[in-house]
């Protein structure tokens, strides 16, 4: 099983391989060593050797990279080019990057519950403060009620009716 | 809830007692002084009239004045930490959207020279929809955990204003005015001390409510920060990794594809003598390539700024937590760094105790003025440090689309 650290290293190594491939391709074309900038190879074994060399230089696991290249070549057009292989390796790298994202999110999920619980506690306290404002409103209602009762004692029921109408 | 009792006494007069017991069912932690004062008030108000009698207990005023002096230290400073939670929400959403867009942009770069564009684009875009769309949602979701926490922290800390709305304060003042007028018209004479207090009912009660509110804030914010700090510390490190590793990797993949395509297209310029029109085309290609790469470079800076912002937020949370922990005697001096640090075992006991209390009892945490000043300074520094980061993040243009997105 690949650790997050190993995964990061593999992603970096593939990036380096793709970059080196591109540079070598352009260099060879510039010196007219190859007839086409896409660098068509007649023999896939040459490509394998070439990529394994680059993997070694990038400090990656040569055999792992070779296995991946072999799998990619199995899906390749009839005459694969180095340019095509660069693109496919880059796509493979993107897949590894998605795996890395999953690994990181899985790793931090162990802390998520604690943070969520704390958010809920904070939210609960915010609601209490909101309830306090409502409780204050109830006191206003109470004062209105006293006034209404004084009025009632004088035979005036209007205020009481108003207070009762405003009861929640 | 206000408990209102109205009863007729043996002489037929109506005695009204008010118990503004703030032992509200949903507010379980209560400022003792506030309740004590209210209970005193409760037992002491009698109206002197043939029908009513009010008696004001002078001690109540002492308690009320006392309340106005304690519990005034609010947590509005802490708000500054959470106040910018929306930065995390907004900028992480931009980053997540661009994570997906980067995949789409990459898929739209031809695999070979024209006309190879049509053959691969559909399948590659499908891949983005299958995989990277989900990844985008995941990035938003993990960042929202931190955003929600900080936003709730800010909401609870408050901005220093009263927990009682202006509307309710004004309503009570108006009701009390009406009450005194009505009492006067009904021939009820209020004793001088009482009428003085009644006139101040709204501000006094507001003070009491604010004291209780501060109690709730103090007894929630402090333990929550102490008990969540470790999780925040580790969690934000993961968020940083997502920004500076995963997102930057995604941009790197896009850059590699631009590199692959433009190099192939520009190769003839390396080996052949170009006609002026070809040279112009080559120049145009160069500009397009540089524009795409510049845009990616800008987003890499953005990712770094976002990570820096998370780091500052994490460190600020830790610095404030440390002050709270010192207050609760949960720290020790690290002999090497000569700095205070939290003792994990002590924190564990503290947090277990906090959970066991189930928020029913007060933890009686009271910050000293010096601690409050230190917190204010930490947050001032946080604001000062993060302001340019926010500015730079906001300046990053995510709308600018490279060559192959003109048809979007």
Percent of chain B, pLDDT > 70?
Answer: 71
Beta-carbon separation of A97 and B250 below 8 A: yes
Q: Which segments of B267-368 does DSSP mark as H helices, in order?
A: 268-271, 276-327, 344-357
pLDDT reading at B192 higher than 70: no
Tell me whether B337 touches chain A (CB under 8 Å): no
**pLDDT single digits (tens) B251-296:** 999 999 999 988 888 776 667 777 788 788 888 888 989 999 999 9
Residue A4 has phi, psi (to 5 degrees) of -60, -40
What average pLDDT does chain B have? 76
ipTM above 0.85, yes or no: no
Chain A: closest CA distance from residue B329 (Å): 22
Beta-carbon separation of B16 and A146 below 8 A: yes
DSSP letter for each residue of A117-153: HHHHHHHHHHHHHHHHHHHHHHHHHHHHHHHHHHHHH
Looking at beta carbons, which residues of chain B come within 8 Å of A58?
A: none
Provide the pLDDT for residue B119. Answer: 59
pLDDT reading at B234 higher than 90: yes
Beta-carbon separation of B103 and A94 below 8 A: yes
The least confident of A28-42, B340-354, B392-406 is B392-406
DSSP letter for each residue of B355-369: HHHTT-S-------H
**Residue B207: which of A136, A125, A122, A126 has the closest Cα?**
A136
Provide the pLDDT for residue B350. Answer: 92
pLDDT reading at A141 higher than 90: no
Provide the pLDDT for residue A11. Answer: 92
Q: What angle do CA A50, A53, A54 make, to 5 degrees?
A: 90
| Residue with more model confidence, B199 or B244 | B244
pLDDT reading at B167 higher than 60: yes
Q: Which segments of chain A does DSSP mark as H helices, in order?
A: 4-30, 44-57, 62-74, 82-153, 158-166
Looking at beta carbons, which residues of chain B come within 8 Å of A146?
A: 16, 179
**Residues 173-192, chain B, touching A (beta carbon < 8 A):** 175-176, 178-179, 182-183, 185-186, 188
DSSP conformation class of B17: E
Tell me whether B5 touches chain A (CB under 8 Å): no
Rounded CA separation B22/B146 (Å): 33
Rg of chain B over all Cα atoms, to the nearest angstrom = 32
A155: left (phi over 0), alpha (psi -120 to 50) or beta: left
Provide the pLDDT for residue A70. Answer: 81
Rounded CA separation B211/B72 (Å): 6
Provide the pLDDT for residue B62. Answer: 45
Looking at beta carbons, which residues of chain A come within 8 Å of B164?
A: 132-133, 136
pLDDT reading at B207 higher than 90: no
Mean pLDDT, residues A51-70: 80
Beta-carbon separation of A133 and B165 below 8 A: yes
The least confident of B120-134, B162-176, B193-207, B283-297 is B193-207
What average pLDDT does chain A have? 83
Is-contact B313 B385, C-beta < 8 A? no
Mean pLDDT, residues B130-144: 95
Beta-carbon separation of A107 and B259 below 8 A: no
pLDDT reading at B237 higher than 90: yes
**pLDDT single digits (tens) B325-373:** 998 899 999 999 999 999 999 999 999 988 887 555 556 567 788 887 8
Provide the pLDDT for residue A166. Answer: 67
Residue A155 has phi, psi (to 5 degrees) of 85, 10
pLDDT reading at A121 higher than 80: yes
| Residue with more model confidence, B54 or B354 | B354
Percent of chain B, pLDDT > 90?
Answer: 35
Chain B: closest CA distance from residue A68 (Å): 17
Encoding tokens for residue B46? Answer: 């009698």
Tell me whether B24 touches chain A (CB under 8 Å): yes
Mean pLDDT, residues B313-332: 93
Is-contact A65 A55, C-beta < 8 A? yes
Provide the pLDDT for residue B48. Answer: 40
Contacts of residue B174, defined as CB under 8 A and 6 or more positions apart, other chains included, come to none
**Residues 360-399, chain B, touching A (beta carbon < 8 A):** none
Contacts of residue A21, defined as CB under 8 A and 6 or more positions apart, other chains included, come to A50, A51, A54, A82, A85, A86, A89
Contacts of residue B19, defined as CB under 8 A and 6 or more positions apart, other chains included, come to B2, B3, B4, B5, B38, B39, B42
Across the A/B interface, how many CB contacts are shorter than 8 Å?
225
Beta-carbon separation of A104 and B241 below 8 A: yes
Beta-carbon separation of B250 and A94 below 8 A: yes
Tell me whether B26 touches chain A (CB under 8 Å): yes
Provide the pLDDT for residue B74. Answer: 58
Mean pLDDT, residues A100-119: 96
Encoding tokens for residue B276? Answer: 């002026």
Provide the pLDDT for residue A168. Answer: 61
Within 10 angstroms of residue B342's Cβ, the number of other Cβ atoms is 21
Tell me whether A90 touches chain B (CB under 8 Å): yes
Rounded CA separation A120/B233 (Å): 19
**Residues 104-163, chain A, touching B (beta carbon < 8 A):** 104-105, 107-108, 111-112, 114-116, 118-119, 121-129, 131-133, 135-147, 149-151, 153-154, 159
The least confident of B53-67, B95-109, B218-232, B260-274 is B53-67
The residue of chain A nearest to residue B52, with distances taken between CA atoms, is A150
């Amino acid at each position: 099983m690949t650790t997050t650290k190993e995964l990061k290293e593999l992603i970096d190594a593939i990036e380096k391989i793709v970059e080196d491939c591109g540079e070598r391709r352009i260099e060879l074309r510039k010196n007219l060593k190859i007839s086409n900038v896409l660098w068509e190879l007649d023999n896939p074994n040459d490509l394998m050797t070439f990529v394994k060399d680059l993997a070694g230089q990038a400090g990656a696991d040569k055999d792992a990279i070779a296995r991946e290249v072999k799998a990619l070549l199995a899906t390749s057009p009839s005459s694969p080019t180095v340019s095509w292989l660069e693109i496919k390796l880059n796509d493979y790298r993107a897949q590894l990057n998605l795996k890395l994202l999953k690994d990181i999110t899985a790793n931090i999920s162990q802390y998520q519950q604690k943070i969520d619980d704390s958010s809920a506690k904070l939210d609960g306290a915010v609601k209490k403060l909101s309830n306090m404002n409502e409780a204050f409103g109830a006191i206003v209602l109470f004062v209105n009620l006293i006034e209404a009762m004084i009025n009632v004692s004088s035979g005036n029921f209007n205020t009481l009716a108003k207070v009762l109408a405003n009861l929640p | 809830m206000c408990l209102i009792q109205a009863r007729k006494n043996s002489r037929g007069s109506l005695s009204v007692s008010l118990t503004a017991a703030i032992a509200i069912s949903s507010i379980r932690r209560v400022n003792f002084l506030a309740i004590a004062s209210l209970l005193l008030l409760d037992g002491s108000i009698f109206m002197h009239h043939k029908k009513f009698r009010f008696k004001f207990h002078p001690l109540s005023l002492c308690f009320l004045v006392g309340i106005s002096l304690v519990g005034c230290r609010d947590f509005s400073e802490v708000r500054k930490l959470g106040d910018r939670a929306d930065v995390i929400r907004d900028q992480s959403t931009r980053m997540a959207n661009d994570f997906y867009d980067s995949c789409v942009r990459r898929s739209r770069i031809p695999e070979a020279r024209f006309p190879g564009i049509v053959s691969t684009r559909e399948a590659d875009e499908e891949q983005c929809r299958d995989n990277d769309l989900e990844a985008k949602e995941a990035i938003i979701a993990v960042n929202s955990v931190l955003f929600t926490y900080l936003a709730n922290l800010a909401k609870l800390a408050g901005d220093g204003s009263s927990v009682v709305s202006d509307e309710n304060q004004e309503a009570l003042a108006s009701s009390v005015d009406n009450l005194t007028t009505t009492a006067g018209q009904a021939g009820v004479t209020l004793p001088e001390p009482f009428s003085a207090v009644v006139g101040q009912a709204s501000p006094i009660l507001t003070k009491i409510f604010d004291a209780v509110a501060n109690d709730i804030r103090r007894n929630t914010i402090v333990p929550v920060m102490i008990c969540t700090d470790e999780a925040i510390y580790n969690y934000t490190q993961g968020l940083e990794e997502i920004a500076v590793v995963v997102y930057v990797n995604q941009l790197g993949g896009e850059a590699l594809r631009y590199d692959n395509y433009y190099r192939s297209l520009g190769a003839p310029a390396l080996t052949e003598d170009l006609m002026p029109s070809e040279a112009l085309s080559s120049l145009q290609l160069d500009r397009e390539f540089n524009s795409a790469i510049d845009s990616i470079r800008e987003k890499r800076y953005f990712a770094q700024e976002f990570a820096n912002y998370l780091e500052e937020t994490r460190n600020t949370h830790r610095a404030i937590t440390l002050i709270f922990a010192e207050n609760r005697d949960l720290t020790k001096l690290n002999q090497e760094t000569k700095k205070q640090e939290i003792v994990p075992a002590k924190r564990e006991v503290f947090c277990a105790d906090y959970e066991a209390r189930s928020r029913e009892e007060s933890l009686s945490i009271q910050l000293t003025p010096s601690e409050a000043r230190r917190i204010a300074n930490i947050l001032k520094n946080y604001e000062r440090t993060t302001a340019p980061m926010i500015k730079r993040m906001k300046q990053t243009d995510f709308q600018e689309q490279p060559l192959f997105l003109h048809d979007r």
